[in-house]
Structure 1
Amino acid sequence: MALTYQDGIAILQLIIFPFILVASLFIWKRTGWRVGSKIWRYPFTLSLIRLAGSIATLISINDDTKNVRIAIFVCQLIGIAPLLLAYVGMLRLIDLEKKIPPRPLALVTLMAFVGLILGIVGISTADTTNGYTPGTLPKAAMGLFLAVYVMVILLTVWLFYVHFFSLLRYQKKLFLGIALSAPFLLVRLIYSALGDYTSNQTFSMASLAENNHTSLTAYLCMSVLEEIISMVLAMVFGVSAILESDFVKPIPQVDPEEKPNDV
């Protein structure tokens, strides 16, 4: 069977995301496995999700069942959460002096995870017999993801203002990575929002399943490429930042109320 447009997009992701996965592991190791887990596990997880979604797409060539189709839809949606949280992690790495109160970061992370859960449940329980139509839960998930994006941008601007006169070289590179990625990330979110909140078939996952060329072109240009570009920028500036001579490895936080064990 000849490869389709959608299969070609899946192959593109299979080519690109292993590099992002390796880069995230490299930065994670240099940052420290323990403390870096709150930062670099998200691009690593995103890479695994995109690879799984691409593999499911290729499996559907000869086994286009409901379960395979649901797997493709789930991977499409849940990748947004680790994508957004990757930038929250970069803010953690920039914020050496802990200027950002822990509650806003915890709230952003919680919102992303709640959106992730709502999206998985919403898609897994949806009736995909006649295609996929977003229900209340996926729409709520998308709303949370949009709110997370806004909060990440606001926290980035505020943190840059606070540190403006005392930025180290590695912090400048991480800020630059977030700033350059932000427009591409926004287009990626707009694409998903249009699919969830409008009836325009160009942005519908049901149209993707039908190999509609117009929908697939929009998917490629507004989702896949935007996501790849944003993550490549984040990884390039992330690698460059940790290789700077002034890079400061984060120190694991210790609970002040935690008491050492009696000997």
Structure 2
Amino acid sequence: MILRGGSSKGAYFLASDLPAEPRQRDELLLRIMGSPDARQIDGIGGAHPLTSKVAVVSPSPDNDADIDYLFLQISVDEALVSDRQNCGNLLAGVAPFAIERSLFKAEPATGDHAVRIKMLNTDSVATARLSTIDGAPVYSGTTAISGVPGTAAAIALEFQDIAGGSTGALLPTGRRVDEIEDVACTLIDNGMPVVVMAADQLGISGYESCHDLEANVMLRTKLEAIRLTAGARMGLGDVTATTVPKLTMVAPPQAGGHLCTRTFIPHRCHDAIG
């Protein structure tokens, strides 16, 4: 099934429909998404990391979860499939998919439900809350989120014990601030490993368009140098070919809210929020 989750879109599969051997599974998913190809012309990927994602879903054998969820990021222009991080966006589609594919029975058929989802990437659990009518998920609603046109039904996510899921600690270096490439960085692992920096320390406002940020070669070179050093300091090893840590630049708000963020995931600028 193709579902939007949060500000991303992905392909959702039953684990039983895919090869059990990871290499064979990944080769199949690369073909399905059309990678490696910048346009993904021979597959269902949307030529961007936000639309080149896969969720693998199965019943959970654990008592503390109903559903198991493995997230896989499919590289657009490389033959690379990564399971190094979670995706909270696609997580929002796991409960509807589980109900549609009879992995979770909505009882009562019409009402509100809590679906406990084990995120296999980090061995942590999140609870999705959604509504059903006659046993089917409710998709229409009035909830709007940034980066997505129109409105839809709300799916609330509650995360449990996600700090340090990839590195073993909320602050993997034990410090709130690390200086890397003359930039003050916070290296944090709270759902996924992320490097947080002030936009002005990188010579930008934080309000540039994705196109302008991706075209800024000096900025991208500096960000990658920061990412490689941060990955080693966070205990992730050589992150050259991986999708973590992500990079988030923070700026003061201009149109409400408490702050503005721009995120690279890790080499493309996120069109919404990452």
TM superposition score normalised by structure 1: 0.26
More contact order relative to length (CA 8 Å, sep ≥ 6):
1
Task: Choose between structure 1 and 2: higher helix proportion.
Answer: 1
Task: Choose between structure 1 and 2: higher strand proportion.
Answer: 2
